[in-house]
Amino acid sequence: MHIIGGTASTALAERVSRELGNAPFGIPFKKRFPDGEMYVRVGGRVEGEDVVVVQSTRTDEDLVELLLLLDAVREAGARRTFAVVPYFGYARQDRRFFPGEPVSARALCRHVELDADAVITVDLHSAQTLAQFTKPAFEASGIPAIARMLRERPVDVLVSPDKGGVDRVRRMAQLLDKPWFALDKKRIDSEHVELAFPAEVPIPIAGKHAVLIDDVITTGGTIVEAAKLLQKRGVGAVSAACTHGLFLRDAFERIKAVTDEVYSTDTLGNPAEKASVAPDIAQILRREASP
């Protein structure tokens, strides 16, 4: 099995290679043509091998690179190609909200699987997106990675900032054997939210260390409001953990100002990266790909 690390996921790809007993690992050559178009070239002999391209698609540029790398690998005679897309961009538009809109997540699934025999991603925005792939598609979870890291830290209670995250926080609570609850969230617009405590909070939280668990932090609006709300109830410390840390603009600084710690996995490089999903991706590859 060969692992290829795209520009957006080089470090994670290398970690996956190490998890697989130092599977051959390569970084493609990349440059721009004078007109701005991207050029990539994959080195090494991959003919007849299973090849894994690891590339998050946070930007449109990342997406083009992923599509070019998958085509290059197929051209080079790979036996099977695995697209590992740790952060799968466009996943939030998973349905048509207004007439005239695309189902962007579905459009991206179709294009990514064009030159891939299987797709592996991490914590997709919604489970229905996985069903949009017509080829084998697998979703790793960021929860075990965050749980491995939180086990080493003092944690009293886990909190989901919204009801949509109940399954996630419940799973984390099972892994860490901690109590949990979910806040009520009302989204005002893409940057602003209103949060409230549920009618019943299962345990007293004054003086406790609460950890907010979310799948993605984007503008930081949700976590900032949630942290402030918990502090009003007198928590002793509040931390925030997510799988995908996008941290747009000054989101990281704003969150740091109201929390004790910020944790994220390595699906996107960021200053909060303290847990790796490499073991979880490697586990799927060990099962699905040939060594």
Q: Which residues are catalytic?
A: 185
Buried b (16+ CB within 10 A) or exposed e, 160-189: bbbeebeebbebbbebbebebbbbebeeee
Residue 123 binds ligand R5P (CB under 6 A): no
To the nearest 10 degrees (0 to 180), the angle between helices 143-150 and 278-288 is 140
17, 218, 243, 267: which one contacts ligand R5P (CB under 6 A)?
218
Report, in angstroms and rounded to the nearest whole number, the Rg of the chain calculated over CA atoms: 20
> Both tokens of residue 104?
């962007």
DSSP code of 229? H
How many residues touch ligand R5P (CB under 6 A)? 14
Q: Minimal distance in Å, beta carbon 213 to ligand R5P?
A: 10
- Nearer to ligand R5P by Cβ, of 17 and 243: the residue is 243
| Contact string (CB under 6 A) for ligand R5P, positions 149-188, x = contact | ------------xx-xx-----------------------
Residue 220 binds ligand R5P (CB under 6 A): yes
Measured between alpha carbons, how far is 189 from 178 in angstroms, rounded to an integer? 32
Measured between alpha carbons, how far is 198 from 172 in angstroms, rounded to an integer? 19
Residue 142 binds ligand R5P (CB under 6 A): no
- Judged by CB under 6 A, which stretch of 47-55, 65-73, 114-122, 219-227 contacts ligand R5P? 219-227
| Contact string (CB under 6 A) for ligand R5P, positions 7-46, x = contact | ----------------------------------------
Measured between alpha carbons, how far is 197 from 108 in angstroms, rounded to an integer? 37
Contacts of residue 71, Cβ cutoff 8 Å, sequence gap at least 6: 115
What is the β-pairing status of strands 261-265 and 137-140? Answer: unpaired
Residue 217 binds ligand R5P (CB under 6 A): yes
Neighbour tally for 73: CB within 10 Å: 25
- Judged by CB under 6 A, which stretch of 17-25, 48-56, 64-72, 211-219 contacts ligand R5P? 211-219
Q: Which residues bind ligand R5P (CB under 6 A)?
A: 161-162, 164-165, 193, 214-222
